[in-house]
Amino acid sequence: MRDVALFVEDAAQQKTMAALVERVAREKDVEVNLSILNSVGGRGKVETQFKSFLRDIERGILAKPDLVVLGTDGNCKGHTQRAKDFGELPDYIPVVMAIPDPHIERWLLLDGAAFKAVLGQGCQAPDRKCERDRYKQILVREIRAAGIRPSLGGIEFAEEIVEQMDLERAAGADPSLKSFLDDLTRHL
């Protein structure tokens, strides 16, 4: 059993990242105990909570997990810059950076066949542009086009979409997803 701690910035990342961790672990025949340690407040809150978590481990207050997944949207700053924003990572815990660039909702739109399997109608993988809320709006629009009214902006379907995704094909369409899946696979 591998203990995995998840620090992400919002509910969309929580649902999507948790589903991806659980799926990759299952495919590698690795049992995981996933702990959601932050899923609100944006990137600043993720950074603050992560640093507090590390201090508590160093003080012996918390047990060290086997792996940490640290997620924040790239917001078109890219993986390297976003990773630098967190400063130096500890060498005593493996950390996998999950940095969807530009936003997590784009990952849910990458595999039209998975989208169709869950929602009854496929979608086109969107281009990559740096517009605030663009992919949230596209996700809602595509779900509505399937005749469904999303109650949570579409994230309520994240786990099901991830379960149906051809991860290799989706990763081939998005370097940020590929980077995350490659790193996660190596560490599990």
User: Could you tell me the pTM of the whole model?
Assistant: 0.95
In the predicted model, what is the mean pLDDT of residues 50-56?
Answer: 94
Helix (H, G, I), strand (E, B) or coil at 113: helix
Question: Which residue, among 100, 43, 46, has the nearest Cα to 68 in the 3D structure?
Answer: 46
Confidence check: pLDDT of 6 > 90: yes
- How does pLDDT run across 108-153, given as a tens digit for each residue? 999 999 999 999 999 988 888 888 899 999 999 999 999 999 999 9
Chain-centroid distance, C-alpha 68: 12
Q: What are the tokens at 159?
A: 């786990």
CA dihedral 13, 18, 19, 23 (to 10 degrees): 140
Q: Would you state the pLDDT for residue 130? A: 86
- Please state, in angstroms and rounded to a whole number, the distance separating the CA atoms of residues 136 and 99: 16
- How does pLDDT run across 56-108, given as a tens digit for each residue? 999 999 999 999 999 999 988 888 888 888 888 999 999 999 999 999 999 99
